[in-house]
Amino acid sequence: MNQIRNPLLQETLFDEEADDFAAPVSPLPRRVTPLEGIAYLLLVLGSGGFLASILGWIGGGWGSFLFVFGSLTAGGVLLPWARYGNTSPGVKNDRTFFRGISTRGITGWAAGVLLTGFYVVLYWRSDLLEGGIRLVDPLALVLTGEEAGKWFLYGFLYSLAVLLFGFRMILRWRGNPYQILRTFSVIFFQLGLAFLLPHLLALFEQPEFYFTYFWPLKTEYLWPSGFRWLASHPGGLGVFMAFWGLAMTFLATPVLTYFFGKRWYCSWVCGCGGLAETMGDPWRHLSNKSDAVWRIERISIYTILAVVTAGTAVLWINSAMEGGLLGTLSQGFAEWYGFLIGSLFAGVIGVGFYPLMGPRVWCRFGCPMAAILGLLQVKASRFRIETNGGQCMSCGNCSTYCEMGIDVRSYAQKGDPILRASCVGCGLCSSVCPRGVLRLGGRK
């Protein structure tokens, strides 16, 4: 009886390699619920208001500030609430590969151009943003006692994005304590230590200092000029900061990485990681998984680490020789590094290309801090992703959702533990695995 052949089974012609091969045309189109409608409306109002202020159509003051950012916040909270608030815990990746915004479709490209354009304007034509900068003046006056500059606006938007997309992440992963805690952590470090505290420090006439960034990501902290500037600041706090920077780089980094792996920083503390894990989450599957790109990654990230390390050493030697080695060239090196790596790579490409290449382009190919943490992770850490015996069925969810482009499955299907320099320990592979194969943990 089992031999009866359903004639339909083998006669459908198709090209399985086509991107939309299985995309079902739903008979019941997804309707926008009233709650989602309100959320969209608020988001349009908020971003329209922001645009209007940039164009100078609306003036500054608390009224405009609250209107623009109140609408954006309300919309940013309401939208994920409408989508995920009422669902049961579990993986929510439905239709990820059918939507243009998440698969480099027209909307995806538009988002990429918009983000990249924002960074280009921010770095090189910030005069165009004048109206937007004035919009955040009220908050800047409270926090810093001064009018806002472009970096205040940037820091504010950045933190707002981490907060709102973090809220989305927490709702999406309800029932997953690892993802929830991790998201709370990046929100806390971005809002508290990378946004509020530095401004408050400035308010109390202390150096604007970021306790969550260290050399070699924040190169200035261990460059002679920056280090001396901190150490010579009147009052004890500057000296503390200078030594904090030293201790974090040379003491905390190896010790914490030994126990927890690179993730203690990259997906729990770091601001770049924080944005990638929240605002970048909808695009994490876009990272390239090929061996060829893995090779490029290793060349590129270690080259930048070598440049930073050599550069730092030369700057100190030059400084000790009182400019005898480089003369005014040292200033030139600092400026060029800041332009090429700090602005162009970390900013424009790093965030601007989220919708095109995934959220970890900077972390994967550029960040010298990630390079050091990665070396420590492989050479001197207990951290591993453990695999659970023979349970893997090679489905590919882990590799697909790895933002660092690690082919997790190639290890899991062999039952091998996973140890890769680039792994930031976001835990998404373990979260999306339908067979409970992967677990972030340590070597016993």
Partner 1 sequence: MHAVILGNGVSGATAALRLRELRPEWRITMVSGETTYPYSRPALMYVFMGHMRYRDTKPWPDSLWADRRIELLRGWVSEIDTKERSLKFEDGNRLGYDRLLLATGSRPNLFGWPGQELKGVQGLYSLQDLALLRENVKRARRAVVCGGGLIGIELAEMLHGLGLPVTILAREEWYWGNILPREEGRFVSRMIVEEGFDLRLSTGLSEILGDGEGRVRGVRTSEDEVLDCQLVGLTAGVSPNLAALEGSGIPTRRGILVDRSLRTEVEGVFAAGDCAEIETGGDRNLLQQVWYTGKAQGRVAAASLAGIEERYEPGIWFNSAKFLGLEYQVYGEVPNRPGEGRRHLYWEDFEARRAFRVVEEGGAVCGMDILGGRLRHRVCESWIREGRRLEEVLEGLGEACFDPEFFPRPVERIRKEIREVAG
Return the number of the residue (304 or 406) whose C-beta is nearest partner 1: 406
Task: Provide the binding-site residues for partner 1, judged by CB under 8 A.
Answer: 1-10, 12, 14, 16-17, 19, 21-28, 30, 88-91, 93-99, 175-178, 181, 290-291, 386, 388-391, 393-397, 399-400, 409, 413, 427, 430-432, 434-436, 439-441
Q: Nearest approach, Cβ of 329 to partner 1 (angstroms)?
A: 46
Q: Minimum Å distance from CB 179 to partner 1?
A: 9
Residue 356 near residue 233, CB atoms below 8 Å: no
Q: Which residue bears the tokens 């001197």? A: 380
For partner 1, the closer CB: 25 or 106 = 25
C-alpha angle 188-177-197 in degrees, rounded to nearest 5 = 5
Q: Name the pairing type of β-strands 383-387 and 438-442.
A: antiparallel
CA 351 to chain centre: 8
| CB 253, min distance to partner 1, A | 21
Closer CB to partner 1, 80 or 347, in the complex: 80
Q: How far is the CB of 332 from partner 1 (least distance, A)?
A: 44
Nearer to partner 1, 17 or 127 (CB): 17
| Contact of 155 with 195, CB cutoff 8 Å | yes
d(CA 149, CA 317): 34
Phi and psi of 97, rounded to 5°?
-90, 5
Which residue type sits at 312?
T
- H or E segment and range at residue 438: strand 438-442
Pick the closer one to partner 1 by CB: 150 or 174. 174
Least Å distance, CB 173 to partner 1, is 11
Q: Which positions ≥6 away from 35 have C-beta within 8 Å? A: 78, 81, 82
Nearer residue to partner 1 within complex by CB, 206 or 413: 413
- Minimum CB separation of residue 15 from partner 1 in Å reads 9
- The residues that bridge with 439 in the sheet, in sequence order, are 386
* CA dist., res. 341 & res. 219, Å (int): 11
Q: Residues 94, 96, 97, CA angle at the centre, nearest 5°?
A: 120
Helix runs in 380-427, H state only: 397-400, 408-412
Alpha-carbon distance of 304 to 320, in angstroms, equals 24
Q: What values do phi and psi take at 71, rounded to 5? A: -65, -45
Q: Shortest gap between Cβ of 143 and partner 1 (angstroms)?
A: 33
Identify whether the C-beta of residue 413 lies closer than 8 Å to the C-beta of residue 387: no
| Number of neighbours of residue 349 by Cβ within 10 angstroms | 19
Question: What tokens were used for 35?
Answer: 């709650």
Comparing CB distances to partner 1, the nearer of 86 and 328 is: 86
Q: Which is nearer to partner 1, 278 or 387 (CB)?
A: 387
CB-nearer residue toward partner 1: 159 or 397:
397
Angle at 311 between CA 151 and CA 122, to 5 degrees: 20
Q: Which is nearer to partner 1, 150 or 439 (CB)?
A: 439
CB of 287 to partner 1, least distance (A): 12
Long-range pairs, 206-212, Cβ under 8 A, ≥24: 206/233, 206/235, 206/237, 206/238, 207/233, 207/237, 207/238, 207/241, 209/241, 211/244, 212/269, 212/270, 212/271
> Cβ 36 to partner 1, closest distance in Å?
15
Q: How far is the CB of 271 from partner 1 (least distance, A)?
A: 23
Distance CA 156, CA 140 (A): 9
